[in-house]
Amino acid sequence: MKFISWNIDSVNAAVEHKSARGEMTWQVLQDIAAEQPDVLAIQETKLKATGLTKKQATALDELFPGYHRYLRMSTGRSGYSGTMMLSKVEPIAVEMPVIGAPDEMDIEGRIITLEFENTYVSTVYTPNSGSNLDRLTDRQAWDDAYRAYIADLDAKKPVIFSGDFNVAHQEIDLKNPKTNHKSAGFTDEEREKFGLLLDAGFTDTFRYLNPDQTGVYTWWAQISKTSKINNSGWRIDYYLASNRLNDQLATFSVVDTGARQDHAPIKLEMTDDFTI
């Protein structure tokens, strides 16, 4: 069974593909469709509160025929944040949870959870602490609320959850750790909260399968023209899973996006005996 997760940074930019970057984004989406994942999770859809346009829906229908599709848009700022999940198997239930996060985080369309017979499969777009760390306090409150939410799911059945967590957990998870300890995504506070999430009974699937591997990243800053060329990246996109699924983790990979900077999709494959 195959799972793919990607921060797409605008569904519309992919579907319209009117710029060079849009063309690359569209190509990545086509590559994902060719993989035919059992469940696809997408973050930062940037859809309007009204959802997909007819053109966007048609494009996704053509790329992913027969998939069940679930959307959650920001009902605060339009065209901001947002998540989407597509599944070959229709879930038993779909949840768009309110976790008691501060500010407008609960209305920014950040979490979708699909319940299947044996497993919950969820996606998250974790709030960024901001370039000046102005949202760091709220981000810590989010992390606490999110950890409680996932732990509650895990008490019922195992969870596989993915997304842009906006944190590089360890120094091995970014190219330049020494100069980024005060940067959003690598503060001591964010890293500690991510550690607490793992300690609550969950596995960083990539690091479990590749404990000492270096130089594997999922995000390269667009602001730097050479970040991808030099592989000056961060690993901030994850597949996490309940610890009791560890024996069924098969492979983890980062999908090649060529010259495209920003986020790359991540792919988790489970052993043949795994069923959702």
Distance CA 5, CA 271 (A): 18
Catalogue the long-range contacts made by 147-152 (C-beta closer than 8 Å, 24 or more residues apart).
147/193, 147/196, 147/197, 147/200, 148/99, 149/97, 149/99, 149/111, 150/122, 150/197, 150/200, 150/202, 151/200, 151/201
The answer to the question of whether 166 is labelled as a binding residue is: yes
Q: Is 17 a catalytic residue?
A: no
Distance CA 199, CA 189 (A): 15
Residue-wise pLDDT tens digits, 58-82: 999 999 999 999 999 999 888 999 9
Q: Is 125 a catalytic residue?
A: yes
Distance CA 258, CA 264 (A): 9
Residue-wise pLDDT tens digits, 119-159: 999 999 999 999 899 999 999 999 999 999 999 999 999 99
The answer to the question of whether 262 is labelled as a binding residue is: yes
The answer to the question of whether 118 is labelled as a binding residue is: no
Distance CA 217, CA 264 (A): 8
Task: Report the predicted TM-score, pTM, of the whole model to 2 decimal places.
Answer: 0.97
Structural domains of the chain ordered from first start: 2-270 (3.60.10.10)
Q: Given this model, what pLDDT does residue 145 score?
A: 98
Residue in the block written with tokens 């195959």: 2
Q: Write down the H helix ranges in 66-187.
A: 136-154
Out of 125, 217, 238, 239, pick the active-site residue. Answer: 125
Low-confidence stretches of the chain (pLDDT < 70) are: none
Distance CA 115, CA 153 (A): 10
* Edge-to-edge order in the sheet of strand 159-164: 93-95, 111-115, 120-125, 159-164, 237-242, 202-204
Whether 87 contacts 67, CB under 8 Å: yes
